[in-house]
Amino acid sequence: MRSTRPVFNESGDPFSMTQRIIDIFVNLAERGYPIYIGSGLLAAAGRYLTDISPGERALLVTNPLVRALYGHLVEKSLREAGLLVITAEAPDGEEAKSLAVAEKLYDRAYTAGLDRQSPVIALGGGVVGDLAGFVAATYMRGVPFVQLPTTLLAQVDSSVGGKVAVNHPRGKNIIGAFYQPKLVLADPDVLTTLEPRELKAGLAEVIKYGVIADAGFFAWLEANLEKILAREPEALARAVAVSCRIKAQVVEEDETEQDRRAILNFGHTVGHALEAFTGYELYRHGEAVAVGMAVEARIAVALGVFPEKEAARLELLLQRAGLPAAVPAALLRDLADGRKDEFFTLLRRDKKARGGRYTFALPVKTGAAEVFRDVPEKIISSSLLPR
């Protein structure tokens, strides 16, 4: 088993900033793959792709906004590498993650003559990556999958680890698989075109990694948050690289989330419930996770496993990042006015849960987390209230 020592060393330097391209390998035996992080990678996508796939055709899945910004660049690179590119646009937003949209992509792939060696390439954020990955995992029982993430959240989280899924009307990511990509190319240059709200939403996942796995990284984020928000290239590259290394370590130890990998869901039990409860209309995913982390940190405090001062430290960092750190008063009124059972049913149906027990990944100190089962409903209820 790989060491779980902190990614940051005492000097705070997780990698050499003289490297133009940062290379991280997710070691999963025959399913292992590289993550490359660096400027200009989208323009070089074709060259990287020819090293991992012998296919002559490729399905490029994106959405209208990302295609307008980067589609031509990627299509040109793939064509120059000798690939026939079939581009398919998915709708914007969470509604794209559906079996109906996946079926349209299957039709596009089949009509274009894609075979088992033809890669499916995701160019976009987490929604595009989840959808394209699900199609890659299930088309002809599995074809090569490549991630070209264009949001901070996708670069640090959803593009790494092999979770692919579409939604069911009754729950998020209910229909899916563990299916690892063959390659991830994360180009920090694309983050300069993100709207501020999207950048902040991605920061929630970055902050999560410090809380659950690396106190040194959390301290670095406290000291360098303004540089990330200002999109300074070195700070962005460092945040992406350290986040990916932490996730790679956890995934290597528990690829299919039987045990340790569940710590990556800190903030997500409450976060996913909030998203579903509000019809996926109020929050970006990272915003819901931010509220979830604040609430779940208070649950950990109430259980006596996490210091209150550390929970306050987390909430302060979330607030500095421009992220929500409390359940809105309007939602609290909904819970008080008869919708509490609905919300708590969503919590019990979280994918970590066993036998309908309330299950949470909670911090036990800044830099470490564990999974707790049978959390009392009374503690959850009180933790939903603002401090």
Q: What residues are annotated to the active site?
A: 141, 163, 205, 247, 257, 261, 265, 268, 272, 285
Instruction: Answer for the pair 57, 114: CB distance below 8 angstroms, yes or no.
Output: yes
